[in-house]
Amino acid sequence: MIVYKQFTFDAAHFLPYVPEGHKCRSLHGHTYHLTVFVSGPIQDIVGWVTDFSEIKAACQPEIDRLDHSCLNRIPGLENPTAENVACWLWRQFRDKIPGLQRIELKETPTSGVIYEGE
């Protein structure tokens, strides 16, 4: 069984390594939509895979760290492409969320990444 919890956060960034003149080289912002997927068996007594509040408790401090920030100023996110942000989030969550299976991060309603770990 796979369960998921969704989050949103707003953040600014710029991509320092794209070519001059590319619109993403300038400072701009996004409303990011993050979905965290956790897999495991349904626990017999309680009837769930995990408590959604436990997923939230593990994720929220890092979401709060990114929310309304300039991602380029976060250590490890100096080149905050959607791919690099997803990898960074995975590293923050992997030891805190048993059964972490996948992270989906949308930068816009039509663009995003899926990361399933290293």
Strand order in 28-39's β-sheet? Answer: 69-70, 2-13, 28-39, 100-108, 111-115
> What tens-digit pLDDT sequence spans the chain (118 residues)?
999 999 999 999 999 999 999 999 999 999 999 999 999 999 999 999 999 999 999 999 999 999 999 999 999 999 999 999 999 999 999 999 999 999 999 999 999 999 999 7
Q: Which CATH class is domain 2-115?
A: alpha beta
Give the pair of three-digit tokens for residue 50. Answer: 């995990």
Q: Catalytic amino acids? A: 24, 68, 107
Q: What secondary structure letter does DSSP report for 80?
A: -
Mapping DSSP to helix (H, G, I), strand (E, B) and coil, where does residue 68 land?
A: coil
Transcribe 21-45 into DSSP letters: T-GGGS-EEEEEEEEEEEE-PPPTT
